[in-house]
Amino acid sequence: MIKVTLRAARVNTGLSLIEASKIFGINKDTLAKYEKDSSNIPRSIFIQIEEIYKIPVDNIFFGQQSEFFRKFKQTG
pLDDT tens track, the chain, 76 positions: 789 999 999 999 999 999 999 999 999 999 999 999 999 999 999 999 999 999 999 999 999 988 888 876 665 5
**pLDDT score recorded for residue 2:** 80
| Residues 32/39, Cβ–Cβ less than 8 Å | no
How far is residue 74's CA from residue 57's CA, in Å, rounded to a whole number?
A: 23
**pLDDT score recorded for residue 71:** 78
**pLDDT score recorded for residue 73:** 67
How far is residue 3's CA from residue 38's CA, in Å, rounded to a whole number?
A: 14
Q: Is residue 25 classed as helix, strand or coil in its secondary structure?
A: coil
For the chain, domains (ranges, CATH) are: 6-75 (1.10.260.40)
**pLDDT score recorded for residue 24:** 97
Cα 73 → chain centroid: 19
